[in-house]
Amino acid sequence: MTAVPPGAAAGSSPSAITTATASANTNIALIKYWGKVDEAQAIPATSSLSLTLGGTRTTTTVSFDGGDGAADSVTINGASPSAVELERVTRFLDLVRARSGVTAPATITSRASVPLAAGLASSAAGFAALAAAASRAAGMDLDGRELSRLARRGSGSATRSVFGGLVLWNAGHDDASSYAEPVACEMDLAMVVVVLSQRYKPISSTLAMRATMSSSPLFPAWVEASGRDLQVALEAVRAGDLARLGEIVEGNALGMHATMIAARPGIIYWLPQTVAALHAIRAMREEGLPVWATIDAGPNVKVLTEGARAEEVAAALRDRLTGTAVSVRRPGGGVRIEEGPCP
């Protein structure tokens, strides 16, 4: 399958292209990625499974035009990025330059369609869009698998945002074997996002997973359990069994948090409202609603549910969790080359 349709600059050969725009949606992991066995190559400790969410695109334009003269010039959501963000983008572009032979610094403009405060802040959409735009602008013509391998070097979760719908990231053991691929899914799934706090996360996932791997006595057990969870999740998807999928999704996320809470010192992303939301979701389940929680590297909760009942679930969550922002997200598509520049 081709993730990037041709057409960035119709009529010109790929090697002539120096500017390209691409967009990607973010994704939420159903079976989590937490820990890298090889940081330089971004090879994860476990395979993971995610749902790409519609309406969450980040659009990025890359021009290998000399940047600000000496370095890459980066604008994210109309502002200059932090020094750490800038270095991460430049390191990623250095990879693209090394592979393509392009040497010029670049101008990068990126805009997310969903505000950071929506609880979906993620490097996944950003690096998937950057990988597609930068590789295309540098004249490389990557297929979906190659693009997911490249995006992986920017941020692990970006590996999966290259594709739409349900996506499996095969952990693999080296650069060539660690890539994402779409998974057939007939199920009607949706995610209801509950924003409990708009505070930025206190510690980045990169640092938190490094600390978990090096100091949590539960990490080896997590890796083992996660492999089994993935198999059960894939079986549940094949069988179209939402309750089975939901149970394993919630259990996997709680297991990931238990593992990091056991790091020394413990990493606690949860706030009191996070725990309250988990209890509310259990109570809703007992009342017959198809709802299962998942939580990433932050305090907010995402609720896996049936697409047809997502609005009903969102209304019930708003009732129970007053003062929170609740939004429904449905499955969305993968990376896309865009005609015009980033807005």
Binding site for ligand DP6 (CB under 6 A): 29, 32-34, 48, 123, 155-157, 205-206, 296-297
In the bound state, the residue with its beta carbon closest to ligand DP6 is: 156
Alpha-carbon gap, residue 95 to 9, rounded angstroms: 23
User: Of the two residues 32 and 57, which places its CB atom closer to ligand DP6 in the complex?
Assistant: 32
50 versus 107: smaller Cβ distance to ligand DP6: 50
Peptide bond into 217 cis (omega under 30): no
Question: How near is the Cβ of 96 to ligand DP6 at its closest, in Å?
Answer: 17
Who contacts 236 (Cβ-Cβ below 8 Å, separation ≥6)? Answer: 242, 244, 245, 248
For 320, other C-beta atoms within 10 Å of its C-beta total: 17
DSSP strands (E only) in the chain: 19-24, 27-31, 36-38, 43-44, 48-52, 58-63, 73-76, 107-112, 166-170, 179-182, 189-195, 292-295, 301-306, 325-329, 336-338
CB 140 within 8 A of CB 96: yes
CB of 95 to ligand DP6, least distance (A): 14
| Structural contact between residues 131 and 150, judged by C-beta atoms closer than 8 angstroms | yes
Return the sign of the alpha-carbon dihedral for residues 116, 118, 121, 124. Answer: negative
325 closest CA partner among 129, 114, 20 = 114
The minimum distance between CB 49 and ligand DP6, in angstroms, equals 9
In the complex, what is the shortest distance from the CB of residue 155 to ligand DP6, in angstroms, rounded to a whole number?
A: 3
* Closer residue to ligand DP6 in complex, CB, 34/219: 34
Cβ-based nearer residue to ligand DP6, 205 or 324: 205
Comparison of 66 and 251: residue with beta carbon closer to ligand DP6 = 251
Q: What count of other Cβ atoms lies within 10 Å of the Cβ of residue 198?
A: 14
Q: Output the smallest distance, CB 170 to ligand DP6, in A.
A: 13
CB closer to ligand DP6 out of 124 and 328 = 124
User: What minimum distance in Å lies between the beta carbon of 35 and ligand DP6?
Assistant: 9
